[in-house]
Amino acid sequence: MKLRKIVFMFVFVLLLVSCTPKESEKESFTVTFEVAGGSLVTEQLVVDGEKVVEPDDPTRLAYIFDGWYTDPNLTTLFNFDTSVTASIRLYAKWNPDVELQTAYMDEDAAAISLSDEPVTASKLNLPIKGSLNESGISWSSSNNSVVNRHGVVFHPTAGENDVTVTLTAKLTYGLQQKFYDFEVIIPAKTEVTIDESVVLPFTNLTSEFTVADANLTTYFAEDGALPYVDFMEFLSILEGFLYFDDFEFTVTSDTVTVYYQAEYDIEDDQGNVIGTETEDYYLTVDFENNTVTIDTLSFFEGYIYETATDYGAGITYLETYYEEGVPVVLELTPYRFDLVVHQDGLETKYLFPFHIANLLFTGGSYYNVYYNGNGYSGIYAFPDTDDPTGETEDGRAYNSIKVSSLNGTDIAPDVLVATYDLLVFSLDYFFGLKSQREVETYYTVLASTRDSYMTGKTRDLSNGIFNVVNKTLDDLHSSYHFPGYYEVPTFKLALETIAQVGPTVRSWYDVLFEVQDLFDTTYSQNSGTPPDYRFIDGGKTAIIYLDGFYTATVEDPDGDDSHRFMRETMDAIMLENRNVENIVVDLSYNTGGNLGALIRVLGFMTEQPIEMSYMNPTDQSNVTYFADVDTVAYTDVNWFFITSRVTFSAANLMTSIGQHMGFATIIGTKSGGGASSIIPVVLPDGTFFHMSSLNVLSYRVGNEIDGYEYFSIEDGITPDYELAVADTQNTAKIIEVIDLALAGE
């Protein structure tokens, strides 16, 4: 018994001894060194209670090490005699070596090379990092209108004085900054000297005009990428779009005059041709004074073939009243463009910057020639950007013109400046709202935002023009289609938020969204889509919903067509109730469309010739057309139009015509306006957009004896009877307003 007890106690003691912790199993902690740009310091693993081994001081160019701190704000210096009880992170503090950093900045500044010679380029190479010690560099200019902070050069125009500009470089090294001035001489613009030429292919990509494929000789200045073409050769390859053989060219040493005569049928009130009349048109290109003079801007309309799609089907144009305007002189010098007489071997070439020639001679017709750096393409209207497989003609055209050897590269400097200058030139001479907005030149309007996109970077330019078109112009008839050929084809820009548009357009969208919500609520059983028509007031009144004006095209003959819709809808209404007394056309959600389609729709409402008037704010001409529609009108009913702020463009015109001619009563709120037709514009970088043109829809007041006064309908049409937007689908309110109108109250 005694022996067993002793053995048991011995075993117990062994067990107790085996449970005692070993000294080597103490916890360890990590000490990390944040060097803040200095040389690397290896982290340490420190046993609980021991001390950090102070490492050698790190090094950093042009800085003096000032110790290790326990916090990132560098307020508490670490004591290396402190025992470590947890993982810690230490932060290096640096003080700038002021002398050395200043010396480095001086060295970097001395390496900046800006020539003492007058600057002839369109862009200076302004470095943003020092070439030796990598100082940070930012720039400012003493004359931002001539050279901006990105080094983009806007030469004074020909005849002006050379300008000396001080460019200031702010160099930064660490916490030190120093400013250095560099003077550059920017000479006035001189005439382009052509250095080379190349023959490029032209391909027609639209079936609307039959134009043969051809070649076009293209000229470039030395080290330039902006294309120039002989404008007579350019016109010659477009036979089929324009009647080239009708042109007569008179050439002197510095002047080319273009003349053609257009013949028009004279018709009686029944549309019978009873004779013809001719109109003479002249355009003079003065290469010495760098001007293009047109006796009337109608010059650009009379030489064009009809499109394959008959947008005027069923319409006969009767007499035309015309008030001649004044000659227009397009001055290219203020926009830094040159008309060049160039001797090419034994031939004399009369060169235009290609994009000026395209804007003048083709753009107003919806036909454009698109240059993408590798060749030219004939396109119509607005090639489809939402057809990646190219199933439609528009999609195939878009996919073709967007592929270029220049995709994904930075824009050439001369093309960059020419893109900005042509944007302003287009707005100054061809934007239909310029006069109404009392703008002298869009150089002034765009000055405040110019430098955000005139940087030399392609993406900046794309975003900048997108903002100019959508926000600065603040016009529903101005719209951005796609960026240029320097961008990769897959890059697109589109409106995504209401913040991307100007205040006028934004307020229009506010009403659009209100009408959409109203339709969604009223016609929820049909996903917010109203029926083509419905009867109210016991069948006395029918309401037709018309959301746009469309013409089926040659490519898609079964596509949307407003004339067909009206014919089928009126047939259905009369079949259902031949005794209907009132027909209301709801235009409260109609944003416009094709004018030919609009005229054919009006043919259902009146037998009177449709009166359409235009005014041109640039050449100050006025014109009134009378169109007879080959449709039997329903004149035994009372016609009403419902309008809202959304009622825009062609719908706004329909409202104006119905009210002015007296065959329709307008109920609703003031229509949205939109007086101008649109003109497509292609800029030198390939950006494609459209804007309000100089064809400003109007109505006229007066008579042939006392004369007429023309009034733009840009600001909308005031209704004859008010009907709130919220009540445009309210049957009781519509009946109430119709009854008031019929009672003459």
The phi and psi torsions of 627 (rounded to 5 degrees) equal -120, 130
Residue 357 near residue 231 (C-beta atoms within 8 A)? yes
pLDDT score of 22 more than 50? no
Residues 291 and 331: beta-carbon distance below 8 Å: yes
Residue 735 exposure: Cα atoms within 13 Å on the Cβ side:
10
The SS3 of residue 127 is coil
Residues above pLDDT 70, as percent of the chain: 94
Distance CA 104, CA 88 (A): 36
**Local confidence band at 19 (pLDDT 50, 70, 90 cut-offs):** very low
Q: What's the whole-number mean pLDDT along residues 683-711?
A: 95
Q: Which residues pair with 551 in a beta bridge?
A: none
Confidence of residue 275 (pLDDT cuts 50, 70, 90): low
- Please tell me the distance from the alpha carbon of residue 546 to that of residue 540, in angstroms, as a whole number: 20
Mean pLDDT within 668-679: 95
Q: Which range, of 7-11, 479-483, 631-635, 714-718, averages the lowest pLDDT?
A: 7-11
Residue carrying the six token digits 């949307």 = 560
How far apart, in whole angstroms, are the C-alpha atoms of residue 529 and residue 302?
42
The radius of gyration computed from the CA coordinates of the chain, to the nearest angstrom, equals: 37
pLDDT digits (tens, 9 = 90+) for 483-513: 999 999 999 999 999 999 999 999 999 999 9
Classify residue 51 by its DSSP letter.
B
Rounded CA separation 197/648 (Å):
47
Q: What is the pLDDT of residue 317?
A: 78
pLDDT at 618 over 80: yes
Long-range contacts of 197-201 (CB under 8 A, 24+ apart): 197/344, 200/374, 200/375, 200/376, 201/375, 201/376
Give the 3-state secondary structure percentages of the chain, helix then strand then coil, rounded to 5: 25, 30, 45
What number is the average pLDDT over the span 23-41? 88
For the domain spanning 100-186, the CATH number is: 2.60.40
pLDDT bin (cut points 50, 70, 90) of residue 365 is: confident
d(CA 309, CA 306): 8
* CA 479 distance to own-chain centroid: 5
pLDDT given at position 559: 84
**pLDDT of res. 5:** 38
Report the pLDDT value the prediction gives residue 312, as an integer from 0 to 100: 67
Please report the pLDDT score of residue 316 as a whole number.
80
Q: Considering only residues 81 and 558, tell me which one the structure prediction assigns the higher pLDDT.
A: 81
Q: Return the pLDDT at 272.
A: 65
Mean pLDDT of 378-385: 89
Q: Tell me the mean pLDDT in the region 359-380.
A: 94
Q: What is the mean pLDDT of the chain?
A: 92
d(CA 31, CA 43): 6
310 pLDDT tier (thresholds 50, 70, 90) = low
Choose the weakest-confidence range: 20-34, 356-370, 469-483, 636-650.
Answer: 20-34
Out of 369-373, 424-428, 491-495, pick the least confident: 491-495
Q: What pLDDT shows up at residue 4?
A: 38
Q: What is the mean pLDDT of residues 124-139?
A: 94
Where exactly are the structural domains of the chain? 25-96, 100-186, 194-503, 537-674+715-742
Which whole number is the average pLDDT over 359-381?
Answer: 94
Cα distances (angstroms) measured from residue 15 to each of 18, 21, 206, 318, 582 = 5, 13, 98, 121, 109
Identical fold, 100-186 and 537-674+715-742:
no
pLDDT mean over 613-624? 94
**By three-state DSSP, how is residue 563 classified?**
helix
**In this predicted model, what pLDDT tens digit does every residue of 390-401 receive, in sequence order?**
888 989 999 999
- E strands, 356-415, are 367-371, 376-380
Note whether 594 and 564 are within 8 A (CB): no
Burial of 698 (0-12, 13-18, 19+ CB in 10 A): buried
* Cβ pair 364, 300 in contact under 8 A: yes
- Are 208 and 380 in contact by the 8 Å Cβ rule? The answer is yes
Q: Find out if CATH 3.30.2000.10 is the number for domain 537-674+715-742.
A: no
For residue range 564-609, list pLDDT tens digits in order.
Answer: 999 999 999 999 999 999 999 999 999 998 888 999 999 999 999 9
Of residues 363 and 610, the one with the higher pLDDT is 610
Q: Which fold has domain 25-96?
A: Immunoglobulin-like (2.60.40)
pLDDT at 10: 34
Quick one: what percent of the chain has pLDDT higher than 90?
82
Q: What is the pLDDT of residue 558?
A: 81
Residue 9 reports pLDDT greater than 60 = no
- DSSP letter at 541 equals E
Contact call for residues 368 and 682 (beta carbons, < 8 A)? yes
What is the Cα–Cα distance from 682 to 669, expressed in whole angstroms? 37
The number of residues making up the chain comes to 745
* 273 pLDDT tier (thresholds 50, 70, 90): low
Instruction: Name the band, by pLDDT with cuts 50, 70 and 90, for residue 115.
Output: confident
In three-state secondary structure terms, 527 is coil
Cut 0.75: pTM above it: yes
Nearest to 470 by CA among 632, 274, 691, 728: 691
Which residue is listed with tokens 């080094």? Answer: 151
β-strand 533-536 against 63-69: which pairing, if any?
unpaired
480: Cβ contacts below 8 Å, ≥ 6 apart = 465, 466, 469, 470, 493, 687, 689
Predicted confidence at residue 21, as pLDDT, reads: 43
